[in-house]
Structure 1
Amino acid sequence: MLSVSPLLQGFGLGATMIIPIGAQNAYVLNQGIRRQHHLLTALVCVICDILLIALGVFGGGVLFASHPTLLLSVSCGGAAFLFWYGFLSLKSALHVSSEVEEKQVTRTSRRAVIAGTLAVTLLNPHVYLDTVMILGGIGGQFEGGDRVTFAAGTMISSFAWFFALSIGAARLSPVLGRPKVRRWIDGVIWLMMWVIAFSLLKRVVM
């Protein structure tokens, strides 16, 4: 029989970990506004989350806890990617474009979108800390079917959030996609990416 309590706990805890704005959410939002394979972006995020949640809940968090150099390597790679992605956002924010130019922007290929989504997800150490170690640690306290139900709740939360964010951004793209609004959004994304990148480097140095 399905136990509702672990399902709701998993859904609620998953939401608190996934919804706060970060590199991954910013990337999904950006793809949604541009309407460039935004559903594919959400799908890749969900698949990654499902795998990471399963890894954490069923014992994989021990791997990162016992190998700090692994998380250190991810932090360095993540910082480099965030600096690069932030630079692209800054460049886009400083480029004054017209409505016509916005419509003529070359569409990103599916491969590039998948690669970008994987990078912003798997090179983000917060994903491993939140999804694998914290969710995994809490999920590991459940036994048997309750552990599976808890994991399912967090996975449902991930699915609901990323597709809601992607579809919502695409629906609002006529407003959010205006050149002036886009510049503001790109500027905020640039600032956020570099703040996160500097925080990662600070953690590595300290």
Structure 2
Amino acid sequence: MQTAFIQGMGIGGSLIMAVGAQNAFVLKQGLKRSHSLPIAAICSFIDAVMITAGVAGLGHLILAFPLIKDIASFGGAIFLLFYGYSALKSSFNENRLDSDDALAADSLKKAVLTTLAISLLNPHLYLDTVVLLGSISVQFEGTEKQWFGAGAVLASFVWFFSLSLGAKYLSPIFKKPKAWCYLDRFICITMWSIAAALMYPYIV
């Protein structure tokens, strides 16, 4: 039981902590202190649902119907290209808000919808949680499989809330407008890189 739980935390955490669109968005909202806790909760809840589905064996469904992955890939790429462009455009704004003044830059509705889009339109979410973690979980049986899933779910909650709440400690750095410019450009590169990776299999 303990071994399965620790493995779930370790493997789940390593997948979740990889630099990606979702983490970049959570970090930025945490720095802006803009609905950071609801965003962390949504990301964690989505991961929990997907991990549970994977451990329950639904990963085979995605593998059996490639169209699901194709739709997510195209939709995700389009959204990430648009979001990356918005971040790039924002990086050239000379009147940057610092982290203390950006408290309510986004409405809660916009923040929630963006979080859902970045999360659910990313096929890597399904591949990492439902397929990969689901495949790894088959080595466990009975309650051990459940503990493996619980470990992965806990890793997700710990990571997203730590990222969201811990962002405030970076606030002194983001007192400088240039820091926000660099962050937006980093986010743009991240979003466009992921979009390119999603489209690469379809153009080669």
User: Fold-level match, TM-score > 0.5?
Assistant: yes
* Displacement of 1:141: 2.5
**Paired residues of 1:42 and 1:163 also in contact (CA < 8 A):** yes
Unaligned runs of 5+ in 1: none
Q: Does 1:163 align with 2:161?
A: yes
Which amino acid counterpart does residue 42 of structure 2 have in structure 1?
V
Determine the C-alpha separation between the residues in 1 that align with 2:95 and 2:39. Answer: 25
**Match 2:68 to one of 67, 70, 93:** 70
1:57 is aligned to 2:55? yes
* Offset, 1:205: 3.0
Tell me if the contact between 1:33 and 1:170 (Cα under 8 Å) persists in the aligned partners: yes
Equivalent residues of 1:33, 1:177 under 8 A apart: no
Give identity over the alignment, percent. 41
Cα 1:147/1:181, change in 2 over 3 Å: same
Tell me: CA distance 1:142–1:105, structure 2 relative to 1, closer, same or farther (3 Å): closer
Unaligned stretches of 5+ in structure 2? none
Residue 132 of structure 2: aligned partner: 134
The aligned residue for residue 97 of structure 1 is 95
TM-score normalised to the size of structure 2? 0.94
Whether the 8 Å CA contact 2:91–2:181 is kept in 1: the answer is yes
Q: Secondary structure at the match of 1:82?
A: helix
CA distance 1:161–1:105, shift in 2 (3 Å): closer
SS at match of 1:103: coil
Which residue is equivalent to 1:35? 33
Q: Aligned residue for 1:145?
A: 143
Relative to structure 1, the CA distance from residue 180 to residue 75 in structure 2 (aligned partners, 3 Å threshold; closer, same or farther) is: same
Decide whether the 8 Å contact of 2:34 with 2:104 is kept in 1: no
CA contact (8 A) 1:10 1:151 kept: yes
Measured against aligned partners, the alpha-carbon deviations of 1:113-162 in whole angstroms (never above 9, x if no partner) come to 11111111110111111111000111122111001100000001001100
**Who is 1:10 aligned against?**
8
Distance 1:177 1:159 in 2: 28
Q: 1:151-190 to 2 correspondence within 5 Å? A: 151-190=149-188
Amino acid at match of 2:110: A
* TM-score, length basis structure 1: 0.94
Alignment length (residue pairs):
204
How far did 1:41 drift?
0.7
Q: Is 1:122 matched with 2:151?
A: no
- Of 182, 198, 201, the residue aligned with 1:200 is 198
> Which consecutive aligned stretches of 4+ in structure 1 deviate over 4 angstroms post-superposition?
none
What is the Cα deviation at residue 99 of structure 1?
5.4
